[in-house]
């Protein structure tokens, strides 16, 4: 068997920034064990598998160690591949996933994800979290297996050096540390910044996490009173996201660029 593999940097307009994802468009689904093995071989935060299903596409995402229910950057990368390399012409792509129907649309030169808004609720600060990050947040909230951890300044978020072994003891899969960007300067200027840690999923720090913004956006929309915000994920690679809250949906727009095309032989 031979498959074409695309590597795409998502939430960036230039190579070597944003979040890299592998995308493989298939004629039919492979065995789950094989898809997991391929994702481990790709060794990126996410590998997306896409299959044409009537007027829609099925999509599944795998980290090097596990399948996940929702992934933003690899969905953006998959849409980019369908538009740029498979001649998809419609303005909207419908993806069926473990999280239900996901829509991707063209928005000028960018692609816009249409994802379900996460139900965010305040929780107590896990004691394991303080030990892992050696810093005290001002607020903590959760949505499913993601924990939102807000700090009093963007500088504090940028300076975090979590102990990954201790972070494994926190009872959440993803730890999203964030703050308003009042003391952060960039072009474009964001409204808030974040960093995302997920050692339980085999990813110590994710460069840009689209799905995390399904809880970040409603949280900061409520905090700022704005329905449109700019976000910056302040990882080493970094990435920019244009966000809009529309009812129970979060619209997440960004750029994408292909950096590699190759053949996988099995």
209: tokens are 């996490």
Which is catalytic among the residues 32, 41, 46, 244? 46
- Per this entry, what is the length of the chain? 266
Residue where the block lists tokens 């030990």: 131
Distance set, CA 261 to CA 5, 23, 100 (Å) = 6, 10, 29
Catalytic status, residue 41: no
End-to-end CA distance of the chain: 5
* Pairwise CA distance, residues 178 & 150, whole Å: 5
Helix (H) or strand (E) holding 100: strand 100-107
In DSSP terms, which residues pair with 115 in a beta bridge? 250
- For residue 255, what are its two tokens? 């750029």
Distance CA 96, CA 102 (A): 6
Contact 76, 84 (CB under 8 A): no
DSSP structure class, residue 117? P
Judge if the upstream peptide bond of residue 188 is cis by omega within 30 degrees of 0: yes
Catalytic residues: 46
């Amino acid at each position: 068997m031979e498959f074409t593999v695309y590597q795409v940097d998502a939430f960036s307009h230039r190579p070597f920034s944003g979040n890299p994802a592998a995308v493989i468009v298939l004629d039919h689904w492979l065995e789950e064990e094989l898809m997991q093995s391929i994702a481990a071989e790709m060794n990126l935060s996410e590998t997306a598998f896409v299959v044409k299903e009537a007027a829609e596409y099925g999509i599944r995402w795998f980290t090097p160690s596990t399948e996940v229910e929702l992934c933003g950057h690899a969905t953006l990368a998959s849409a980019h591949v369908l538009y740029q390399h498979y001649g998809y012409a419609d303005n909207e792509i419908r993806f069926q996933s473990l999280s239900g129907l996901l829509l991707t649309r063209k928005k000028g030169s960018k692609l816009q994800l249409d994802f379900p808004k996460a139900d965010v609720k305040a929780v107590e600060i896990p004691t394991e979290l303080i030990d892992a990050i050696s810093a005290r947040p001002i607020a903590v909230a959760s949505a499913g297996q993601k924990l939102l951890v807000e700090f009093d300044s963007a500088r504090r978020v940028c300076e975090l050096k979590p102990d990954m072994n201790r972070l494994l003891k926190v009872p959440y899969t993803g730890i999203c540390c964030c703050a308003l960007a009042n003391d952060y300067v960039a072009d474009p200027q964001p409204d808030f910044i974040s960093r995302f840690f997920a050692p339980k999923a085999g990813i110590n720090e994710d460069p840009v996490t689209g799905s995390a913004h399904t809880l970040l956006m409603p949280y900061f929309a409520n905090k700022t009173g704005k329905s449109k915000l700019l976000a910056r994920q302040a990882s080493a690679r970094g990435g920019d996201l244009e966000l809009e809250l529309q009812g129970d949906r979060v619209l997440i727009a960004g750029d994408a660029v292909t950096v590699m095309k190759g053949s996988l032989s099995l």
